[in-house]
A and B are shown apart, each in its own frame.
Chain A
Amino acid sequence: MRGQTRVFDMGSPDMWQAIKTQPLMFVGAAIVCVVAILAVLAPWIAPYDPTEINVKDILMPPSWQHWCGTDTLGRDVFSRMLYGAQISLSVGFVAVGLSMAIGVALGAWAGYAGGRVDMLIMRSTDMVLCFPTFFLILAVIAFLEPSIWNIMIVIGLTSWMGVTRLVRAEFLSLREREFILAAKSLGASPLRMIWKYLLPNAMGPIMVSAVLGVAGAVLVESGLSFLGLGVQPPDPSWGNILTEGKDNIQLAWWLSLYPGLAILITVLGYNLLGEGLRDVFDPKLKS
């Protein structure tokens, strides 16, 4: 019974076949795992305290003692990057969790209810989409104080529009399917319809957009921190190490190179994973 209510079955051999034909997705998944493990294990791996100031070792180039050099206060950049990974990833996950919750709820409501509700929700989505997201985030931060929590919330609150559209579109196309009509005619309540039959079948695209969303949120967080409006020093973040890199561009190339590389690799990992999942869930795009 359960298998029949799903258009897409998680355990089918087709899926493993598809994964095998997606080597880039594996690369992405590997990157995602490694970065996550490094972030979690940061307190044990990091060779130095990320906030420990050491006036004797200011702006030291990379060496065996300091793999990625030291910054203007003599702090070890490698250790700061490990802790920065913790911060970036938690911002990414919480922000995406929030935007998914809002997006799925609104999209499901619009797609299921249809009619005037649908129109109202979709027009509001269009309105929010008119704002350059980065402006919106910055404007809100201007009114609040920049802190990790505010950044998570603000990024979450300004990135739900894509998911809303996507879930609504999925629901609209599912609505006319036989098994949905059957469940409906058997008297399933709206919430049960959405939760049991509609959402599970829209799970693929939702997962894809969540994975890609993490990449986007990490980029936005690093951009905000780079501008000095995100994670505040002395807390380390890939973005705020880069700010120091900009200020010392003539003196310390390592401050600019390594944190950016970390952002690039992380974002690339999530993007590859997300795009790979998209092809797995929607094979007709690939062929």
Chain B
Amino acid sequence: MRNIVLRLKNIVKEFPTSKKNKKVHAISDVSLVIYENETLALVGESGCGKSTLGKCAIGLIMPDSGESIFLDENIYTKKGNDLKNTKKNLQIIFQDPYASLNPRMTVGEIISEPIITHNKGMKKEEIKSKVLELMQDVGIRKEYYNRYPHQFSGGQRQRIGIARAIALNPKLIVCDEPVSALDVSIQSQVLNLLKDLQEKKKASYLFISHDLSVVNFIADRVCVMFLGKICEIGNTDDIFENPLHPYTKLLLDAIPSIENAGRQKEMLKGEIPSPIDVPSGCRFHTRCPHCMDICKTDEPVLNEKDGRSVACHRVK
């Protein structure tokens, strides 16, 4: 049995709206586990709650209820130094490398900040040599130590963000769309880097992305979300070769691809429903081509079988 790094239990997160009795149901009762040294991808359309879930997992957003269990302890109940020591192991890489680096700090300062915070009393030279080592790991030249973020391209900035995230050797890194702002040639460089670093540092990734071809490359397991719920979760190969949930099927079918160009597609009807007025029964029923009567009234539960879970009335 593989070791579990993080276990999310029944996470619920709702955001208030301007109307008193209406709420945005961002995440509704989601549970999942992330194993040691694996990449779990969270995929889904905008607004399905994947980023919110990623941030809840490491405590950047506090959910309304639920637990995030890291090393047998719920991180939401921790306080003070205990919390600080836990957070050392839970890091994040953000989507936009232009917005996530402080423009008034040099590369050296940006990468050393987490090291200083968590290693009080460490000597300056020691910190600098650690930072230079990290810069080498992510492929930023040492001479750039005193440069500012605006002097770098998008791909290089993302490398700086990665160096900052791995600085403390975390057990889990949430990668929130780390390559979607990059060009394809740069995207492949950064994806290779993330894979190499994982091998070297033995970290787990919670990889949030809407690009399924990227997910297919990097992930060991895939979790498909729709409107704050998990539709399907399983090994990457199984999901891509044999998607069971109708939503997963349609999502895979929608990718514009070189191999299957011009084929007749089954189009997904309409757009994602509002998370304020969530449809009754199965949340996907308004867009599902195989909708039955039961789907409109009863919410399907996530059934697990051989490491593969699907929430659909048609899949038993």
A, B from the same assembly: no
